Amino acid sequence: MDYYDEIAPRYNSFRKEEQLEKARFVKGLINPKPKDKILDVGCGTGLSMSLFQCDIVGVDNSEQMLKHNPYRTKRADAEDLPFPDYSFDYVISITAAQNFSNVEAAVKEIHRVVKKVAVITILSKSKKLNLLKDSLNRNFSSVKEYKLRIDSAFYCIK
């Protein structure tokens, strides 16, 4: 059982407010319309999904986190997204990238399935921060970085 499978039953009790604060910031950046299609990569228990009144689907590779997620989800790896090219108006990913085993593969997948904009956050203290930043700059036409309280957020235009 991996780390997130193990902590899944307790995740919301210790992360809810922190993750909702990040999700509010991400929502404010993209300001989606109700008809927009959104993918949440590494959606976990769905804390971020709870804020979006859109056509939203989440993917996560932890079966247990998904068991605690009341929204529409699929079990999948960020590195191998089970969707056709250009499927989503927006892709969001909140505090999951530091866990991706292959950051470049995940960024390429996010770029492939998005039509317009992806917003990806990562723990600022993560050793993968620069790897993610470089990969986003290689794959997206424009990348803007924001420093949040705990995460760094990247607003990426395809």
Site of interaction with ligand SAM (CB under 6 A): 4, 15, 19, 42-44, 47-48, 59-62, 65, 77-79, 94-96, 99-101
Alpha-carbon span 135 to 22, nearest angstrom: 22
**Which CB sits closer to ligand SAM, 92 or 143?**
92
Sequence-distant (≥ 6) Cβ neighbours of residue 13 within 8 angstroms? none
CB of 27 to ligand SAM, least distance (A): 12
CB of 40 to ligand SAM, least distance (A): 7
Question: Is the Cβ of residue 35 or residue 147 nearer to ligand SAM in the bound state?
Answer: 147
The residue nearest ligand SAM at its CB is 44
Which tokens in the block code for residue 94?
């909140």
For the bound state, the minimum distance from the C-beta of residue 133 to ligand SAM, rounded and expressed in Å, comes to: 18
The answer to whether 154 touches 120, Cβ cutoff 8 Å, is yes
Phi/psi region, residue 69 (left: phi>0; alpha: psi -120 to 50; beta: rest), is beta
Least distance from ligand SAM to the Cβ atom of residue 75, Å: 9
Q: Could you tell me if 78 and 42 are in contact, meaning their C-beta atoms sit under 8 angstroms apart?
A: yes
Q: Residue 132 CB, nearest distance to ligand SAM (Å)?
A: 13
CB 42 within 8 A of CB 97: yes
17 vs 35, beta carbon nearer ligand SAM? 17
Pairing mode, strands 151-157 and 114-123:
antiparallel
Which residue, 2 or 142, has its beta carbon nearer to ligand SAM? 2
65 and 44 in contact (C-beta within 8 Å)? yes
Of 142 and 151, CB closest to ligand SAM? 151
